[in-house]
Structure 1
Amino acid sequence: MEGLNWPSFLEFLNVLLCVLHATHAQDVMVCGGFVKADVEINFSQVEVKLYTPQGSLKYSTDCAPNNGYYSIPLYDKGDFILKVEPPDGWSFDPAQVELHIDGATDPCSKGADINFQFQGFGIEGQVISKGTTQGPAGIQVFLKKEGAAEVLQSQKTGPDGGYKFTKVLPGNYVVEASHPKWEFEKAKVEVTVGNANTKVVNNIVIAGYDVHGQVLSEGEPIKGVNFVLFSKTIKQKDVNKCDKTPIKGVGVPEGSKQLCFVVSQLDGKFLFPSLPSGSYSLIPYYKGEKIKFDVLPELIDVQVNHGTVNIKEPFQVAGFSVTGRVLEAAQGSGVANAQLSIDGKRLAVTNAEGIYQLENMKTGTYKIKVEANRIYFDDVSMKISPNTPQLPDIIASKFSLCGRVVIDNYPPGLTRPDHRKVSIKGDSTVIGLSTDKEGQFCTKVQPGAHVVKTLVSKEEEEAGLKLTPAERIVKVVDRPVDDVTFTQFRAKISGTVTCLEKCKNIHISLIPIAREDDGMAAKIKEGSKGGTFTLENVLPGKYKANLLNDIWCWKSKVLDVEVTDKDVIGVDFQQTGYVISVTSSHDLKLAYTNQDKKLDYRGTFDDVVKGLNKFCLEKPGLYKLKPESCHRFDKEEYSFDTGKPIPLTLTATSHRIDGSIKTDIRIRDIMLSIKTVNKDGTKEETRGPLRGSKDNIKMDDQFMVGPMFYDWDHWAKTGDTVVFQPSSKHILFYPQKADIVVQGDSCPISVKFDGKEGVFIEGLVREKSGGQDGLGGVMITITPKNNKNVKVSILTFNDGSFEHGPFHGNTEYVVEPSMEGYIFEEVHEMLPYHWFAIKLGKVTVKVVGEKDEPLNGVLLSLSGGDFRSNNLTVENGTMVFSNLHPGQFFLRPIMKEYKFEPASQMIEVREGSDVKINIKGFRVAFSCYGSVTSLNGEPELSILVEAVSLDDCASHQEESKTEADGSYRIRGLQPKCSYKLQLRDDPANQHISRAEPRDKIIKVEDSDLNNVNIIAFRRLNQMDISGNIKTSKEHLSSLKVKLFKEDNPDSPIGIVNLGTSVFFYLPSVTIDKETAYVIRLESTLARSMYEYTLPEVKFYADSSYRHFTFEFNPKRKSLEQELNQGSFLILPLIILVATLAYFRQQLIPLAQQGIQSLQMSVQKGGSTGGNGVGAGGDAGSIDLITRKKQKARKIN
């Protein structure tokens, strides 16, 4: 670049970056937020602490007592844990927050609040067993608000019955326990939570636990065995839900008392539902009606602790006749002389009551078979044991059902069958059988309702064979049924025809529905205004009776007739009028008038629909018909003669649009613009002023009040587009206009407008202090709620008032005042929009050191209500907090290595006040400055350096992470303390094998320590990279070298600007022999002035060291092609410098590294060469190998 002195520019750039870094070094990040609570707590008892991931405390602060605000300064980037540490038992959400401070994306760097929400206090209590001090685990305990059913929390008790609830806010609560089996003497207790953890004084008490057992006989359960409970210590009143009646004849264990007994159930199981914790004795006792059975064991001891007791070994019955009944039906009579067999052996016969007895039985399952006359039984399997001295009843399952079919006159031409099929259908069964030659049938059926049908073939039905009844419903209850009989049937049909005039030649036809038959017909026998007809010998079946006449109207032209088992009469037809056919293009009403005035017959067809319609005229003669519709038709009137009926066709030509405007008051200047657009062009007309309807007008104090309606109509053709737009000087219309496209399929089309008076918004702003004078110049912003993008802004007049409009009345508006240095308080009186203006105050803080010198960089945290602000003092040690609402604020100065007097204070800010605060700072700790570099002087980034205290200052540890230039600063070292300075044993330092020195003892007196430097040696799994450029010296300053992974060229691992040196060193990479790397040479020489190629080389990290040589020989283009570009590059240079200043936090580390690399290159020197690349060192040849991914080591 001609005209630019590069060495001077580089010097200027280096100075600029140093200035930017100096400014940046003073930056302090703040982690802050609120400890929040929905109830009143003492915020000052809550501490917020910042820890390293290893658990070292970096900073601790308490919260502002007025609003719980806290702030913590951060001088280093890295990973931290922010914890809230309240008094024991208090709960917060979250309890801690993990932070990765990167200076850009984390909450602290972005100034976002990190809040901790108070969840509540703790409740502790216990569930105990009655008579003890402990209880069972696993009891479900619920926490509810007093008087409410909703469960807030639920917990299960621990091993001793204890329970805990956390996150409980102050209030009155109920703790309630439940269990599906165990009973409670006291199931719930009340507890009141104040502003501390609460211990529940009253315990929940379990009354007792369930005890289970079983009794068997040869593996079968035994019912009715008594189990008697005894105890030496438990009182009878403490035992529940068992029979406390004394049982005589039972031995009593020594020193015990009989408490109660229970009886085994059908499954042989017995249960004591609720026994308190203690020791018991249990004795079985079983005595039947005539015999007594022995039960073993005779006695067992039972220990009830804090849970259910299951007696594992069942009791056994060691060492019966049974009776039963055979019944016709459940709860029915007994079946006499029924024979019972078991396993093929007849063992018993029932007596007159159906009772039988089985003797000498053993416990087991038996199959019993029962036989009786015309009564049938299913085989029954029964379990017989001492539990079943009375066996279940055996119920009859089926009975005999018999009948016959009688056909006296079988149809000729058919062969009479010897047998006829019969169907018997029950609730879930169908039985098919055949009659014998005499027509009789018989079968067995289950109790219930049965439908009995005789089956007639299709040929027989067509020949007229009908049996009656068609079916018989037979109810079989508890005995056999006989005499179910069916017989044959034929029928006759008769009816009448009634006409308005002579019936003339009218016939009636009878057509069968279900079979193919020509049917039959009959001509009516005519009378004066009607006639009769008869159809005989009609076979059973369904028919349609049709009256053969289409030009008259009939009450019913077709009648359904069904012949079953009797003659049919009353098949009557009646004329109701004369048919008129109308085909219409639209729905409408059609008025008709008979021209014979003597008849005085007229009316309207109200439901003429689009398409073909047929109606009835009740009188004969000539008619005139007129359409009544919002459509206009091709004729205004049509004619029709009942004597010569001709169908009518109606076609619409235009359609009506009805319009209306509604207003609350009378308006005399409403005009209506109507524009019609169609294929013939555009037509416009104006109507008005419109006249309103007076029907709704009332007089109120000599004034007319509405609503008022302004109506009109308009006719348009199909396809017309009609635009209606009303106008007035006094009101607004909703909508402003209406566009109507006439489809022609329906009408009238309705168009409605609402006319509303415009709304004016007015109000007042007054100063709250002093004489409450009006305040002028206040910005009033008026925003519709339904469209926040449309805003109107005005200023108040000198007297504080404002007015603006008109606005649409059907829209809600948000009206807001604003003015620099003021807040506004709404006043709910006088005008709808009325505010007091309150002038804001400010706090000016000055911080000085021990010698009254200004202290800059002190973090001042000011909070109050929802307000909080964290700012650093400037060069003169001051900071001004402006625009503060009146109220109390909490101020805390913060700067590491300093303590302040006062350490914090409450400040009262009044309206418009300027509070002056003076704070003095005292240096109480100091810093250690140094750097960490590699052996060749290359800075090491993100290395953790720590200082661990010794001797009397034990348990004190501070740490720092190196910056891009390798520098570090360990803050907060205590005076008069010795520290061991070393690289921290941490994963962040895992790539470092050792340091020189390994550690160093430093002594802190009353000042900072400087130049405490460390040399770090990387592990041998790193590959070192160097190179040189063969080129003309004048081109070196335009060159830079980039190192990147082949599969990620957009993220360079290292960049070196050559400056004046031909040699360069690149960041080391991890040896893995698989990842491909690329070194590329780049130049800033203008392509318009030079011709050149940029060499690059690909290699693999497969050795400890590689050296590469590049050649760069640009050729200058001819003079005609040169352009003096110096003037064009001045502007980009200025933009570059401005960008560096703006993005200094992001660019400083990268730029410093580039400058250091450039300086190192200058110091090393070198030689020149030609275009191309070469490699040296102990590596092999440079190969093109398939790319494989490797995790990169980031070098900044």
Structure 2
Amino acid sequence: FFPKVQTIEVKAEQTGAIIFSQLKATISGRVQCIQKSDCIGLKVILKPVGDSSEKNDAIINISSADNSYQISDIYPGIYDIMLSSNKLCWKADKQTVNVNNINVEIPTFIQTGYSVVFISSHETQVTSKMAGQSAEEIIKINKGRLTYCLEKSGSYSFQLNSCHSYESDTVTYNTDSPINEIFLNAQKHTTTFIIEAEMEHGNVTAILNIDGVKSQTPFLPFNKNGYEIKLLLSPSETAVIIPQSDILYFTPPILSINGNTDCENLGSKFKAVLGVVFQGKIIPPLPGVLVTVETENFDTLMAETDDNGVYKFPPLDKSKSYKIVAKKDSYVLIGPNNEGDFLAHKLAEIVIEVFDKADRTPLQGTLLSLSGGDSYRSNLQTNEFGQIIFRSLSPGEYFLRPMMKEYSFEPNSKIITVNEGETVTVELIGKRVAYSAYGHVTSLNKEPEENIVMVAVGVGNCSHFSEESTSEFTGQFRIRGLQPYCSYDIAVKNNFNGKYAIERSAPKVIHVPKITKDIHGLQLVIFRPITHLDLLVKVYAKNPEHYKSLRLKVVCESSSSAIVYTGRVDTASVTITTDFNHGVLVQIPPLPFDGKTYSVHLESNLNNKLEPEPELFVANSSFKYVELDFIVKSNVTEQDIKQTSVWTLVLIFSIMFAVYNIDKVSHFLKDMLGGYVAEIVNSTSKKTTANDYAVDNDDIDQIVQSINAVKRKPKPKKTVI
């Protein structure tokens, strides 16, 4: 109200009226923006403080002409005056005022800059720089949300500096952007550890394998504790680290590290000490020499010399002893000396090349026997190029003899003289003097058969010739050495024992008339002897519920009744009902094909059964089929009450009913049959009453028991199989 206080002086009996009028004030103020356009769209919000039951919030637009505002008809009280949500920075974004006058002036809202909000997943540091200016400002951002004020409008760049890795290390932002939030989500984090070393020993690097991507670090920096390694890893990545140095030995030699959700310092993970380094060269320079270092625990390291004959091993543990050797075919290597060098002396070698005389094609598989020198002897076969090399030969004379079925060679033997370090090349020519028969052996189902011995026996004048061959895993066979112009019978060699036993083949014999070239396309099918018997049993039960109680048992009668199989009749795989019941087929595991007598028994766990006769058979065929029927007959005749006993019970209960209801019965008979019968009934009733006759329940029970005293003897049930 206004005024809040009135002072009244009473001088007469009557004074003027005392009037308090309700106060409604007017609030006004201004907003000062850096740029006039920044104030466009701003609103002033008036919010009462404390008890506001009679006061409402007010929202007023700011005048675009002079950035002023005015709110009228405001009741007295304390109010908060603030600006609507915006992306600007203010010296004070809220004013508190006590409305107690008609006109209240609010202090001016003064803009100080432009706000930007950083939302970061981890602690980081940002260097802020405005476009076109050199001045920089450091912003420290904690995990979470941070609002920062930029003094001027324009474009800014933020450089991220931390132990984390982001999608981009630089973020650009313009104060005119409709969204002033910048999200900083760290993707990788720095894992730091050191390779412990007492002092710096030259350059150290590390080979990295991060989820299959290999790389190598630059030279690692050395601090007072050792060489430092820093890796940027995401939580899902795994890094494998292998330190590298020319003189240092590392323990462990390799290490695996998993990424974390934040930066971490693992401390010392490797230890480096001076190691022993094996290096040297071959004199004269010789590439491809295999150099082997063997430890006292028989662990081996191998390296090959380069084009200059130089080799080098990584540093090894100095505390162990080692043995180093070098080897290369056709060379004797002596050493190493103190510098790790080996002296190489070339040995002699003989290169043999074998060709077919007909078309100069290489003859693969030719057996070459070389002997001589200092008790030297070697037998080798030519490769697919028809070539073989006898290496590391001492100077001297050697005797060479080629051998291959179906071929004769020119020359059939040769003396070869070899000098020190010399390579001798010898060419041999083979002439075809016999032929081969090619074919395929399978079973009846077309499966290839291996290790089947095939025999080709000469016929007529060539009956003294005979050749054999064994089929491969593909079923293919090749019989070599068939003489020209001879006829042969080709068959499977009989074998009645073991894994590869054969009963017969089809055809039994393949006749090949006079041979003048290789024979192809021979086809034979073999039959294995029967080794087992398959037994199939059909079980039928009239009641489907009886299948659950049935068991099959197979007994070898020739071996002291030894049980070879027992099992339930399984109906789980078939649906059997009363209307659909054709029986159950049971496949018995294979029985040996031994000619012995076996029996099949069908058993049941029902109490009232007769054991069926077993089915006998002899295991002298590949298959047997047996049918067994299970039919249950009742062995107890149900005890029925005699018909006479039933009528007797009816009569007894009728008499009892009449006695207990004598009055009702007498009236009924009187009405129905007349007075004569009624007098008889009344007379009977009086007599019964006079004698005080009472029916005893025990007497009735005794009468009923005597009626049912006669019982028939039970007869056993019969089971028909």
TM-score strictly above 0.5? no
With the length of structure 1 as denominator, give the TM-score of the two structures.
0.19
Larger radius of gyration: 2
